[in-house]
Chains A and B, each alone.
Chain A
């Protein structure tokens, strides 16, 4: 029997993998992938919690919104990565230090 706890553990695992990717990857694309993973972990939670709202399907609706938002964010993120690449000729976030004073 698959319980809510199993969903939450898988979600936490996915979130952690995503977090790790965001913090450690040397490639901006992979960072975007990490962000997607973290969003996916959140969506998974929404869907799992949706079981307890079978009247309005609040969880599923929220998940749909989140998927759309994630797609939009990735589009924006990819646009930024392309511009960054044009500017720095690299997408390694270690070598992009413009945030430093």
Chain B
């Protein structure tokens, strides 16, 4: 498959990463003059081509790595370098592939925005950070890019910085991610102290440093160092904390729904293949580090995330928030995939999910775009993202409807779509995993099946409420509504992604995920046996379940026969995201505020007080010294001077040039002499 001519894949990988950076610099320098984004699109296209070259020359051949010295501390040299293996090449291709349609789409979507030059700048920076994160061969450099992704997402989420909600959202995203970054950093520190290196190749390759560690007598022994066994678990959980924040795992997922304040195209990119995928990618990269405890922890958190997010998605009214919770839920699936040891399945789901979730967001963006136009034309006051205002858009935007329905089918895991393959791979593996563990573990795959059915339901609800029935906003505005299809530059990227929702891109066999070339390439040895029953029962169960909830959803939402009380507690709990934000506000935020206030008080009164006291003492002492100097020391000197002056004056006054004074003194002298003579 190697037709990369004579170009080294390392070079092309480097080019892939650097192109968006160059575009970023160009836009930063040119500034407002560059409104078109053509440079960004061009750069990302070159990136995509280079990424494709890299992928084709690396896939299923030998991994390649190159590194140069970066800096030296003591005897340790830190290196910076590129690692290309199946996993990184796949991610590199995925990120650049998703980025291209998003860029092209953005050209129309962001056309009228005044800050569009900033948009292109941030977008290029974001792509650079994500692409760099993927191919770095060193955990420290990876961390640097990890941070850069967080920063770029901060800029993008808060792109409309005049909107208070956007500012709050980007702050929230940044802060929550900071918690995860702390975990990542702790993980890096533990790995470094245990192995003395952060090089991914040395650490995680077959027969590498990690493979040579053993657990002996409660000690985690590596060739470099040994420490108590618990640190292995701590390291695993610390790294997972990083992934929890980036990949929006419960309870650190709270930033992702709020991040919807950014432009829809940004949401699309962040949710599809880039930022939220970074956590899953990290987990796959450092997979050998995890022990049983950590894996179980990951699986539980993943399940919890999938269940809660699917539940929260049920009652959301914001079209983007439904999709956001859908993303969180799917990321939960991927984490379960990691937790049960099948990180190839997780990556597979990441890959397929990237395409259809990207498409879902772009379609939602098209809808919002048109609704916003409608709002502008009619001068109505309504939320263009609220599904309650939509309905019946099928007649106005048939192409968008078809594409979005297609993506929804893929998300629900309908046969012949890519989602069917990848989601089933995780659920079936989970069943196989659970059957080797015991009855209690069965709850995880059962919950996953439930979540899958819930997924079908809420995405069905989204489609029915948006595209079927009648246009509800028409009554509100009370005039003829003018809606049309999105422009071609938006439709074409969507069309491309629509094609990618089908199975052939990922597997020749539409039924069995084991035939997928991705699973073949990543190849993880499963510690448990294949359960043939599960392979037949589960897909049928999921498909039947999905179909039945669609029928139900169609009745409820398209026909308008909603049987439940909208104000029921369950509904409110879902709409308000389980009151998790409020809970955080009450517990963490307020306690933090209290601690901060207390710390402030201590600082003000105790620390500053002590310093002030000290200052006062010094000041008084100094003024005492000053007084002593002025009065005693200077006083003595002055007194001597005054005495000398008085004496001098006295002597001087005798010599006043007056005749009589002289005579007087002579007379006195004579008198004195006489007295002396008399008394002698």
Contacts and interface: CB of A to CB of B under 8 A. Distances in A.
Interface string B646-670: 0000000001111110111001000
A98 to B, nearest CB: 7
A98 B657 CA distance: 6
Given A19-B667, A23-B667, A97 B657 contact: yes
Nearest to B664: A23
A94 B663 CA distance: 13
B659 A100 contact: no
A23 B657 contact: no
Nearest to A99: B657
Contact of A94 (B655, B658, B667): B658
B663 A100 contact: no
Contacts of A101: 655, 657
Interface string A86-101: 0000000110111111
Contacts of B663: 22-23
Contacts, number: 29
Interface in A48-101: 93-94, 96-101
A10 interface: no
Contacts of A96: 658-659
A23 B663 CA distance: 7
B159 to A, nearest CB: 95
A93 B657 contact: no
Nearest to B661: A23
Contact of A100 (B656, B660, B664, B667): B656
A31 B658 CA distance: 13
Contacts of B657: 97-101
A22 B655 contact: no
Contacts of A13: none
Contact of A22 (B656, B658, B660): B660
A9 interface: no
**Residue among B656, B660, B663, B667 with the highest chain A CB neighbour number at 10 A:** B660
A24 interface: yes
Interface in B622-680: 655-660, 662-664, 667
Interface in B124-177: none
A97 B655 CA distance: 10
Interface string A5-18: 00000000000000
A97 B664 contact: no
Nearest to A19: B667
Contact of A93 (B655, B658, B667): B658
Contacts of A97: 656-658
Given A19-B667, A98-B657, A99-B662, 11 more contacts: A23-B667, A93-B658, A93-B660, A94-B658, A94-B660, A97-B656, A97-B657, A97-B658, A99-B658, A99-B659, A101-B657
27 contacts: A19-B667, A22-B660, A22-B663, A23-B660, A23-B663, A23-B664, A23-B667, A24-B660, A31-B660, A93-B658, A93-B659, A93-B660, A94-B658, A94-B660, A96-B658, A96-B659, A97-B656, A97-B657, A97-B658, A98-B657, A99-B658, A99-B659, A99-B662, A100-B655, A100-B656, A100-B657, A101-B657
Interface of A: 19, 22-24, 31, 93-94, 96-101
Closest 8 pairs (CB-CB, A-B): A100-B657, A97-B657, A99-B657, A93-B659, A23-B664, A23-B660, A93-B660, A23-B663
